[in-house]
Amino acid sequence: MKYLHTMVRVHDLEASLRFYCEGLGLHEVRRKEVPEGRFTLLFLAAKESPEAELELTYNWDPETYSGGRNFGHLAFEVDDIYATCDHLQGMGITINRPPRDGRMAFVRSPDDISIELLQRGDAQPAKEPWLSMANQGSW
């Protein structure tokens, strides 16, 4: 497994970039505008550890974040999304967002931290029981 990023939601993209880039010295790695979802993703990293990214998510429509909702999730890349989810489920861990697409799943830590699991490389072919499994709770 490879650590990918931590995601935080931000209210003011320019103020956040000023803080993280000018203040802390991170640099922008890539940016993705998603008009259909009305959000922007910015990935930042430190020069000394470019593989450990910080994802800033800016939702275009105003939203009040409470209860820690501005903290999004930790993300890990896994060799086999299905085997990883099988293993976690066997440990009694709820798969909140099953890997129906063969690429992405979400689980929660015992402290309710959202964890995103992403398939390394291309998505695996969709298969049961994951394909028919419904979401459980929130992630």
Catalytically annotated residues: 116
Which tokens go with 133? 């499994």
Which of 61, 58, 70 lies closest to 17 in space, CA to CA? 58
Q: State phi, psi for 19 to the nearest 5 degrees.
A: -65, -55
Which of 42, 41, 117 lies closest to 85 in space, CA to CA? 117
Compute the distance between CA of residue 68 and CA of residue 15 in angstroms, rounded to an integer: 19
